[in-house]
Structure 1
């Protein structure tokens, strides 16, 4: 099935992607509303090198770092290394970006999904590592497309969008993904084979 709706959100992503500077985008909204699908669909249309990592609930730091190293290897073709902290993890990401951009002019897309699950463990250093990565490296370049995403809306707003520390005013765009509009709902149902639905029937589904 073709991707349905989200024209406004896709236009925001497109505008950010085409900028002559790096982008830092926050996407948030309730669970299972299509945030991950939106970003994956958008990036699938691009020729960027994409590094994608997803947080998991109630997982220890060591497991998250192992997953980060694995995703780094998959994205850049580098050997997996033992990462001992989030600072080391983002330093490794920085090194691989620097090596990759010697060979390509494409953007480097970084998609961090379910970010609160990576960062919410007390004093694990994730937020500080992201801050250093953006402030000292990514923001100084013109080829980084960084998207952070989370279902914990309050956390994303408080700790990323409205942060008063090292990430203050760093977000270049934000997307609050909400439920489908009535028009998008009708498009979705028609794509599923429910042709010729009237507005009343669509409203019943909506």
Structure 2
């Protein structure tokens, strides 16, 4: 069973039902149920789930490429890697023009540490491509200070682009 996060699920569902571009930021300390909340929300929905690695940009790009490939080819095994994050993000927005897709980046601070330009790439996606799609983007992270200053903060390229935030 899933307990104690009904209000958060309701908020996410309300945004999901709009069928417009959404960017939900979920953050909070480790081990408080952020990923469990996201997993519960994603049940029965088309989803590309990418859990960033505390690793290099290349390994993260490979993992993201695999997540996109598995969304398109659930039984596939050999996922080709995208050239760069910009191409991978563009592929996701193209898919989201056809149908509502939830795209989760869990542990976003790891990805941002591995590739310093990822927030700018996401800003470009949101400003120029994403708004005309049905993309439901979830950025999740456990590093409270990173999420508050580098994602939600005024200096961040992502400032003002979230449509909701949940501090768990």
Q: What TM-score do you get using the length of structure 1 for normalisation?
A: 0.73
Q: Which runs of 5+ in 1 are unaligned?
A: 178-206
Partner of 2:129: 137
- Structure index of larger Rg: 1
Q: Quick check: 2:62–2:82 contact (8 Å CA) kept in 1?
A: yes
Q: Quick check: 1:76–1:96 contact (8 Å CA) kept in 2?
A: no
**Distance (whole Å) between structure 2 residues aligned to residue 132 and residue 80 of structure 1:** 25
Partner of 2:142: 151
Structure 1 outlier segments of 4+, above 3 Å: 95-98, 163-166
Partner of 2:119: 127
**Distance (whole Å) between structure 1 residues aligned to residue 143 and residue 8 of structure 2:** 19
**Distance (whole Å) between structure 1 residues aligned to residue 21 and residue 115 of structure 2:** 29
**Distance (whole Å) between structure 1 residues aligned to residue 58 and residue 157 of structure 2:** 25
**Distance (whole Å) between structure 2 residues aligned to residue 56 and residue 165 of structure 1:** 21
Superposed counterparts of 1:88-107, under 5 Å: 88-98=87-97, 101=98, 105=99, 107=100
Shift of 1:91: 2.2
Shift of 1:168: 2.3
RMSD: 1.9
Partner of 2:61: 65
Q: What TM-score do you get using the length of structure 2 for normalisation?
A: 0.89
Q: Which runs of 5+ in 2 are unaligned?
A: none
Q: 1:49 aligns with which of 39, 46, 49?
A: 46
